[in-house]
Structures are given as structure tokens and as C-alpha cells.
Structure 1
């Protein structure tokens, strides 16, 4: 006995089957993965790694360049600001005044003219220990300007002071005591 089967497929079922086949990518119809899949995967991963490495290097270069520009800007600003404030050679060293007293006190004063007056750096030695001292600038027209003060101790002392007078008007610089008596004068 032979059996025969007859299969009937409606047109709607064929349309559904066609629609399902259209949704699948062409790779799904292949039997197994493509033969060069490992090579393709390795190439893709290598490309991704190289692009990431280049991006990291590019960021590093940008960071280094930015840091260099910031440091250069800070240094340039410091030099400009320093020149504007009288630092770095914009002052004129006018004179080195020296003097010795009969009691053996010695003084040397570096007088430097600045935009606002004088800068004085005095080195004094031989003052009596504990003596209250004032550094005084004398002008040619008889005026006096106090440029600094300190209490003497045994040994040499160096101090900085300033006075609002022009270097050309200075007649001398003295160290005076509490009674305004000169202890040593440099001219």
C-alpha cells in the first residue's frame, strides 16, 4: 500500500515565510561562521586598540603642550611684573657711603635710587650692646628722614631701609641713638 500525502500551503503562509526570511541578515543563511572569522576579529580588535592608543597619545601631547604654555605664561608674567616693580636691574646703584666713628663704630651704606625714593642697605658694626639705633638720611638742605631702626647687639648687623628723597639730595647717612646723637656717619 502506498500512501501519498498531499501538502497544501495557503498563500498567506507563503507570504509569512517570505517576510521571516527578509528579516534575517544574509549571514544567517550560511552554514556556520565564515572561514576567516578569527582573522577578521583579530583585525577589528587590532584597529580598535590602535585607535585607542593614538587617542591616548594625542591627549598626552595636548596636556603636555598646555602645561608648557601655562608655565611659560607664569614665568613671562613674573619677569614682566618683576621689572615693573623695580626687581632685576631696574634700580640704579648710586653710591656706597662709608664712615667710622672715633669710638670704633663702622658703617657702610649702599644707596640705590628707585622710582619712589631711596633704598638703603646698611651694614653697621661696633654699636654698644642694647643701644636703640635709628638709621637717618641727611639731605643737603638740612632735612632728615628716618629709614629704619633696631636694637644693637654685639656684632655686625645688616638692615634695609628706605626714604622718600632723591639720591642727588643725600648729604650723608647716620646711625643715631635715642637722644638723636650721631653714633657713626657715612658720607
Structure 2
């Protein structure tokens, strides 16, 4: 009964004469197909990586346009001022959806002085946009205030006693 379930090839004595050749050919085909699939995946990965890097670089260039200090652009205005003591202040004021964005460059502050970047409005209000501890040399900092750019009368650097050290208007 068991013999009836076996295929007729099972009754042959040993493997077919060309079995080694067939096995080598089949394994060679499998290896070649696998090698081609790996190479194809490598090419797709390299191409995708190239596009991602190019996109990141293009996005960085696009986002970085017009963000330099001291430029007067359609989207902002630069205010400048110098104090009698020789301190310099240049502030780029840009109107944003939520208020005001400032990029200030300050030079000539006394080393160790506590400083606040304060926005003055035309109606007399004051908004603190940033603070730092001064050191020798130039400092560039970013800040923001909840006021429209059209309402700005000037920007000051004030000390701990709320005295203006330098004002830009």
C-alpha cells in the first residue's frame, strides 16, 4: 500500500546522471538573481539618498534667504544707533503673523553688563525681546515681541537699572 503512494521516480536507482549539472545551474541562476536584486536595491537607495540631500540643501537655501543682519528687504526694516560711549546697535525688524521678529547685532557693551533688548512702541509701551550678559566683542541675538512692526518707535539695549545704553530708531 505504501508503494502505491510513491511516484515512479522514487523507484529509480540513485539520482539521475546529470543531477550535479542541473543543481549547479539552478544554484547559479538563484545566485545571479539575488545578486541583481541586491544591486538594484543599492541603486535605488543611492538615488533616494541623493534626492533627500538635494531637497534638504535646497530647503535650507530657500529658508535662509533674506535672514542676514543689516539688509533692508521688503519684509523688514533695519534700525541703527550709536551711543555717546561708543556702543553700536543694528536691529532688523520683521513683521510676522504672531508679532515681531528681531535680529540684533550689539557691540561696545561693558564686559559682564546685564543687558535687555527692549522694543519701544509709538504709544509708549515697552516689550522685552531678549536678554544676555555682555562680553567683549560683537553679539548677535534673535528675539521677538508681540507688537506690529509699524508700531515700533525704536529698540534699545537697557541695563539692570532700566537705563538705555544704546538706542536704534
TM-score (norm 1): 0.64
Q: CA deviation at 1:98?
A: 0.5
Q: Residue 105 of structure 2 aligns to a residue in which SS? A: strand
Q: Which is worse superposed, 58-67 or 103-112?
A: 58-67
Question: 2:154 pairs with 149, 157, 172, which one?
Answer: 172
Structure 1 residues 177, 46: CA separation in 2 closer, same or farther (over 3 Å shift)?
same
Structure 1 residues 47, 139: CA separation in 2 closer, same or farther (over 3 Å shift)?
same
Q: 2:70 maps to which residue?
A: none
Q: How many residues align?
A: 157
1:113 aligns with 2:92: no
Q: 2:163 maps to which residue?
A: 181
Q: Which has the larger radius of gyration?
A: 1
Q: Residue 101 of structure 2 aligns to a residue in which SS? A: strand
Q: 2:108 maps to which residue?
A: 126
Distance in 1 of aligned mates of 2:129 and 2:75? 17
Distance in 2 of aligned mates of 1:134 and 1:44? 81
Q: 2:26 maps to which residue?
A: 47
TM-score (norm 2): 0.70
Structure 1 residues 75, 133: CA separation in 2 closer, same or farther (over 3 Å shift)?
same
Distance in 2 of aligned mates of 1:149 and 1:157? 11
CA RMSD of aligned residues (A): 3.8
Distance in 2 of aligned mates of 1:64 and 1:144? 59
Q: Residue 53 of structure 1 aligns to a residue in which SS? A: helix
Distance in 1 of aligned mates of 2:36 and 2:158? 69
Q: CA deviation at 1:172?
A: 0.9
Unaligned runs of 5+ in 2: 68-73
Unaligned runs of 5+ in 1: 1-18
Distance in 1 of aligned mates of 2:45 and 2:136? 54
